[in-house]
Amino acid sequence: MENNAPYILKGNQLAWARLTWMVIALAMFGVVMASWPPYVRLLNIVCETCRMTPVYAETLQASGVSVEQWVIFQIIPNIIVLLGWMGMGTVIFLVKSNDRRALLFSALLIIIGASFGGTTSLLADHIPAWVWAHNIINYASFPCLVSLIYLFPNTAFKPRGLAWLLGLLCVLFIPIPFANDNFPIAYNFIFLLSFVISCIVVPVYRYRRVMTFNERQQTKWVIFGIVLAMAGIATTLALVANGPISCGAVGEPKLYCDIVQGIGYSLSPLMIPIFIGIGILRSRLWDIDILIRRTLQYTLLTGLLALVYFGSVVLLQSVFDAFTGDQSPAVIVLSTLLIAAIFTPLRRRVQDVIDRRFFRKKYDAAQVLAAFAITARDETDLAALTGELQRVVQETLQPEGVSVWLKPTQTKSVRSESTIQMGEKT
């Protein structure tokens, strides 16, 4: 089992840590609450440089949508973002406020949520007093985001130099929030490229070399959330680019496009804080490997079945056209029966392929247990059988220690024990 004692805060340390968290949370919630009244007022103003332009107002009126309803459509995504990021940070604090890891990540989520809420950006464009507040929040959110990526889930600055890398990125980021539009594009490009590469390389290295088994399971939850977020963003892009809700040319009215973008771009990234919370609070209760396996299995299975279905429809339809010269409803019936017939064997085959390719350890464990069943049937030597049992348990379950107790005979009991020291849980 993982030792959590070094991460548990007590006494004065716990009191100061909670006080620091409360100061940060109150500051972020205070800025957000103070920004809402002027933010809503700006949304209701109609002008050429405002978000509500005269052309857009006419489009809304022609569509039967009032300005008040449009403002609600604009506010809902902000509320969703704030509730997702800042709400999850608060929940983590309420549940595990004595764990310094949970305290750190909950504070990071709250700061990031205050930046991602999007209220201060509009205020900074129209109210000079909000420019510095917007820039400071943006700058504060950057090291929080990098720390979340670099340090999750154990807060350890490993490998060596990770703290220096984090500090270097934060220093290089300083000019960006306060820069004007004439800031060199090359600087932004180099900085963004370095940031993206480091955010890929560092977590991969830590996953392979630094994390324990439980920490890897927590990280899988976050990776799963990131994948879902990227899928949601990609779907939104497909809908508003050339899909059924196209945004059209720049400057054209785009009411439904704005609604889809607002909801899609707000809901999709929420998968990240939600699964961070699951990774911190519930990772030991839910098996992420099963969830990933099922997602891969049924996604691939759905794609294959759709391909078979439409392929069979096209093929059978051409056959019927060649012989009868007309379309037949039997094509749909036969294609459906074909799908029903191949579903179970195809699902088993897909599951086997996924286990072999992505979950080799589970697949190998099943093979080891099958081999042990044969050994247990044929082996007659008790010492050899107990030794083989210990080896199988070690290979499949990977415990820190294995003890085999045999049923006592008369007044004596026989014990065969082997303690396995694991350098790393995998």
**pLDDT for residue 62:** 77
Cα–Cα distance, 262 to 272 (Å, whole number): 17
The mean per-residue pLDDT over the stretch 312-319 comes to: 74
**pTM for this predicted structure:** 0.65
For residue 45, what are its two tokens?
Answer: 């103003």
Residue 416 has pLDDT above 70, yes or no: no
Q: Looking at per-residue confidence, does 373 or 355 come out higher?
A: 373
Q: What is the pLDDT of residues 34-44, one digit of tens each?
A: 888 888 888 88
Cα–Cα distance, 294 to 298 (Å, whole number): 6
Lowest mean pLDDT of 88-92, 117-121, 221-225, 354-358, name the range.
354-358
**pLDDT for residue 36:** 84
**pLDDT for residue 379:** 65
Nearest CA to 108 out of 64, 52, 65, 153 is that of 153
Q: Is 362 left (phi over 0), alpha (psi -120 to 50) or beta?
A: alpha
Confidence bin at 213 (pLDDT 50/70/90): confident
**pLDDT for residue 32:** 84
Nearest CA to 279 out of 232, 226, 230 is that of 226
Residue 18 has pLDDT above 60, yes or no: yes
Residue with tokens 């439409």: 310
Cα–Cα distance, 338 to 327 (Å, whole number): 19
DSSP state of 66: -
**pLDDT for residue 116:** 80
**pLDDT for residue 51:** 75
Q: Please state, in angstroms and as integers, the Cα–Cα distance from residue 268 to each residue in 81, 89, 230, 272, 274, following that order.
A: 10, 18, 7, 8, 11
Cβ atoms 110, 28 nearer than 8 A? yes
For residue 154, what are its two tokens?
Answer: 């154990």
User: Alpha carbon 396 to chain centroid distance?
Assistant: 28
The mean per-residue pLDDT over the stretch 333-355 comes to: 75
Q: Looking at per-residue confidence, does 371 or 412 come out higher?
A: 371
For residue 58, what are its two tokens?
Answer: 């006419």
Q: What is the pLDDT of residues 398-415, one digit of tens each?
A: 565 677 777 766 544 444
Kindly write down the DSSP assignment for every residue of 102-141, as one continuous string: HHHHHHHHHHHHHHHT-HHHHHHHH-GGGHHHHHHHHHHH
**pLDDT for residue 288:** 52
Q: What is the mean pLDDT of the chain?
A: 75
**pLDDT for residue 11:** 84
Q: What is the pLDDT of residues 288-309, one digit of tens each?
A: 556 566 666 666 777 777 777 7
Nearest CA to 337 out of 298, 303, 308, 304 is that of 308
**pLDDT for residue 5:** 64
Cβ atoms 13, 97 nearer than 8 A? no
- The structural domains of the chain, ordered by start, are 8-286 (1.20.1070), 294-358 (no CATH), 362-419 (no CATH)
> For residue 33, which amino acid is it?
M
In the chain, the N- to C-terminal Cα span, in Å, equals 13
Q: What is the pLDDT of residues 60-90, one digit of tens each?
A: 777 777 777 778 877 888 888 888 888 888 8
**pLDDT for residue 250:** 43
Task: Work out the percent of the chain whose per-residue pLDDT is above 70.
Answer: 74
For residue 337, what are its two tokens?
Answer: 């029966």
Q: Please state, in angstroms and as integers, the Cα–Cα distance from residue 95 to each residue in 315, 323, 334, following that order.
A: 58, 69, 55
Lowest mean pLDDT of 112-121, 348-357, 409-418, name the range.
409-418
**pLDDT for residue 243:** 53
Q: Please state, in angstroms and as integers, the Cα–Cα distance from residue 13 to each residue in 7, 8, 107, 138, following that order.
A: 11, 10, 16, 29
Cα–Cα distance, 301 to 31 (Å, whole number): 48
Q: Looking at per-residue confidence, does 27 or 420 come out higher?
A: 27
Cα–Cα distance, 292 to 281 (Å, whole number): 19
